[in-house]
Amino acid sequence: MLQTVFFYVFSVILVISALQVILAKNPIHSVLFLILAFVTSSCLWIMLNVEFLALTLILVYVGAVMVLFLFVVMMLDIDIETMRKGFWKNLPLALCLGLVVLAEMVMVLVTKPVVVYQITQTDNSISNSNQLGWMLYTKYSYPVELASVILLLGLVVAVALTLRPSSKNAKYQNIAKQVAVSKTGRIEMVKMQAEKVEVIVDEKVGKDKEVSV
Amino acid sequence: MIGMNHFLILSAILFAISIMGIFLNRKNIIVVLMAIELMLLAVNFNFITFSSFLHNIDGQIFVFFTLTVAAAESAIGLAILILLFRNMRGVNVQDMTQLKE
């Protein structure tokens, strides 16, 4: 009973905040409502006995990604009015499409029900984090390494994209310049006179010494 | 009692809302990025629901990787956004036609 009440409370909050994300005029409000949506869905995940991922959602999304979003939205000077242009014009199409997608998914669920087991409280002997860690570092150890490479990629790309070429310490290739280079730009032919060799006689040594002029 | 279908329908609603968001805010690339995040959340919801009700932990592992990829994706997306804003003094999607010329 209590579970039902909590489910409906959280899901109503989740749906309303998701609607606010896409309908809010100010992007800052969208970001804040998205944070609310993430927190609410992590509550729902805890109801499904998925504690580790629920906490990861809060740590990774609310703690890192949404703060990044908030930084960017605050830094950029966005003209809200031009952004909202075409909002009402697109509304019928968007509404139709959303309803069609929703109807399709619900029809799949209704017409072909999946075999459902009830959540059992019996497998509490091993915690969720323990099970997840066990799987991650045995069966899925190679994908974990791939995921770390993806994170490294994100780091390098973000730095490489936002580093200004004009800053003093940045070493950048000017690719247009490199492509446009021609033979004449690289090699300069210099006309030089051949060196004359003068022979003088050194008195002391009495030997011929070559001195180039 | 709350069954599996309740959670699945909730995630379907979330997915439909985010699709609507992409269509409604076509000009505003920030809200489009946020709608993509919401869409990934709906997908993760599906994974976790199935994993929890069918007692199979592989779905949760997949959510783990989805979270990783989504974090990298949003970091790169926001970097591109900053670059666009710096070059074009605005983030209007309609102005991004330089490659046409």
pLDDT score at A117: 59
A123 touches chain B (CB under 8 A): yes
Residue type, B89: R
Percent of chain B residues topping a pLDDT of 70: 100
What distance in Å separates the CA atoms of residue B2 and residue A48, rounded to the nearest whole number? 10
A18 lies in some domain: yes
Q: Does B41 touch chain A (CB under 8 A)?
A: yes
What distance in Å separates the CA atoms of residue B99 and residue B101, rounded to the nearest whole number?
5
ipTM greater than 0.90: yes
Shared-domain flag, residues A133 and A77:
no
**What does pLDDT average to over chain B?**
88
What's the structural domain count of chain A? Answer: 2
Cβ distance B48 to A99 less than 8 Å, yes or no, reads no
CB B74 within 8 A of CB A65: yes
In a domain, A138, yes or no: yes
Residue A68 lies in a domain: yes
Which residue in chain B has the smallest CA separation from A119? B53
Domain ranges, residue A49: 1-81
Q: Could you tell me which residues are beta bridge partners of residue A200?
A: A209
Is the CB of residue B65 less than 8 Å away from at least one CB of chain A?
yes
Q: What's the pLDDT at B12?
A: 93
Give residue A118's pLDDT. Answer: 56
3-state class (DSSP) for residue B28: strand
**In whole angstroms, what separates CA B75 from the centre of its chain?**
13
CATH number where A36 lies = 1.20.120.1200
Interface contact A22-B33, CB threshold 8 A: no
A96 touches chain B (CB under 8 A): no
> Is the residue at A69 inside a domain?
yes
Condensed to tens digits (0 to 9), the pLDDT of residues A88-99 reads 888 888 899 999
The predicted-structure confidence for B27-65, as pLDDT tens digits, reads as follows: 888 889 999 999 999 999 999 999 988 888 889 999 999
Q: Report yes or no: A112 and A53 within 8 Å, Cβ to Cβ.
A: no
Cβ contact, residue pair A18, B18, below 8 Å = yes
Q: Assess whether pLDDT exceeds 90 at residue A143.
A: yes
Whole-model pTM?
0.80
Binning pLDDT at 50, 70 and 90, where does residue A201 land? low
pLDDT of residue B62: 93
Q: A20 with B35: CB under 8 angstroms?
A: no
Query: Can you tell me the distance from the alpha carbon of A89 to that of B8, in angstroms, rounded to the nearest whole number?
Result: 31
Q: What is the pLDDT of residues B70-99, one digit of tens each?
A: 999 999 999 988 888 888 777 777 777 778
Query: Does A7 share its domain with A70?
Result: yes
In a domain, A151, yes or no: yes
A22 contact residues in B (CB cutoff 8 A): 17-18, 20-21, 24-25, 31, 35
